[in-house]
Amino acid sequence: MEDIERTRVASESAVLVGVQLPDRPLLADPLDELRGLAETAGAHVVGELVQRREQPDGTTYLGKGKAEELEQLVSASSADVVLFDNDLSPGQTRTLEKMVGVKVLDRTELILDIFASHAQTYESRLAVELAQLEYSLPRLKRMWTHLSRLKMGIGMRGPGEKQLEVDRRLVEKRIADLRLELKKVERRRQQEVAARRNHMTVSLIGYTNAGKSTLMNRLTGAGVYSADQLFATLDTRTRRWQLPHWGPVLLSDTVGFIRDLPHHLIASFRATLEEARQADLLLHVADCANSMVLSQVSDVFHVLKELGIEEKDTLLILNKVDAPGGEALAEGVRRKYPNALAVSARTGEGMEALSLVVSDALSRSFRDVDVTMSVSAGRWMAYLAAHGEILSRTYGDEDRVTLHCRIPQRYLGGIRDADVLITPRSTRDSSVSAVPAMPTHSDALAPRPVEDVA
């Protein structure tokens, strides 16, 4: 919306604040990720403050002494904004702003601002605006002095109604409109994905800045934008990937995840993540040069669980093995995920092995079966030929024919005819390549301590 006064931190000096609570692991540099978010948003960091607490203070989140220390730090550094690595209530934000005399943003607000500046397509802009409005609705009193010049119509405004109440009603109406539009977008996306079901699909997922876009460029020559920053790309892109000894598959790049990804964003980007939901295989790209790699794997799992796609076949890809310390950390990750594959999207190391493993993994979805039907059932013969490979034909009595086929399991479910008999072949006759069991995300719920990785 043109008249919304959006929070901007570009070219502003910022003080970073983090409160470490017992439910979070102790980190050597607890503000490292917040620092990256601030730099991505365009802010210049001029001060940092960290406190450990058993629970947040109800008034300022920080303790009283630390709040006073923050006030002095802001004054001494002439900061323009305070960025918290935690989520604040509207009341806590108002109290802090009165104390320090500058704008105070929490983690969610900062991430939303980054998403707003990086959104390029109509779909992603809708999703970001919806997330911003849902976040801002309970904070109207602090953030917005006037929302829109739009009128609600004759008879819609009651006597003595305050401007804030009008603004809140306008926001609620806009949220309803955006949800309706996003449902249309989601239906279109589902139709687009369904139209590609004749192709095997692979989707890249992972923590933000793990190198997904760089890996996609390496595998497909797509030329999509990639940069060493958080949330460099928000839009899903799909390209053709030629796998050796297999053929073409469709490879999709998706929006990156992050610790404590705002729930509003997860809900808003469901349409964008439809590619991952419908993919035959997920490639979970992790930054093995990051000391928090196991924790990041766990964070990605939790987001997938919220999206309802945590049970999909997943191959863990350890990217940036060429970076300093990358190989040592990759070895530590392999102790937890023995089948994880170490690669470097930047140098091309491990690309051939990745292609072969993906080919074998996709083969696991194929079944060798004998399909017996009438010789006049041309419809089902054409169906089998279109979706799989007919390896041989054996003609029997009473005008019956048995087709030895190799076909993805999902297409067998599409044969609904009482006259068609499907018989699985024995495993010794199967031409499906044997591959080791792929890692799943189930173990990611309890990541090992960082000191065990190195």
* Domain-embedded: residue 5: no
Q: Are residues 174 and 107 in the same domain?
A: no
The answer to whether residue 2 is domain-embedded is: no
Q: What is the pTM assigned to this prediction? A: 0.69
309 and 208 co-located in one domain = yes
Q: How many domains does the chain have?
A: 4
Domain that holds residue 126: 122-192
Cα–Cα distance for residue pair 404/422, rounded to 1 Å: 10
Q: Residue 170 domain-assigned?
A: yes
Domain-located, residue 445: yes
Give the C-alpha separation, 451 to 454, whole Å: 6
Same domain, 110 and 129: no
Strand partners, 319: 287
Same domain, 399 and 261: no
Convert the pLDDT of each residue in 156-196 to its tens digit.
444 445 666 777 888 888 889 988 888 888 788 777 766 66
**Does residue 255 sit in the same domain as residue 338?**
yes
Burial class (CB in 10 A: 0-12, 13-18, 19+), 376: exposed
Same domain for 178 and 148:
yes
Of residues 223, 234, 229, the one with CA closest to residue 210? 229
Averages of pLDDT over each 10 residues, the chain, 454 residues: 42 88 76 86 90 90 91 92 90 90 89 79 80 79 44 43 72 88 80 68 87 88 62 70 80 80 66 72 90 86 78 87 88 89 92 90 82 88 81 86 84 79 65 35 33 31
| Residues in Cβ contact with 7 at an 8 Å cutoff, skipping those fewer than 6 apart | 103, 105, 109, 113, 143
Residues 99 and 146 in one domain: no
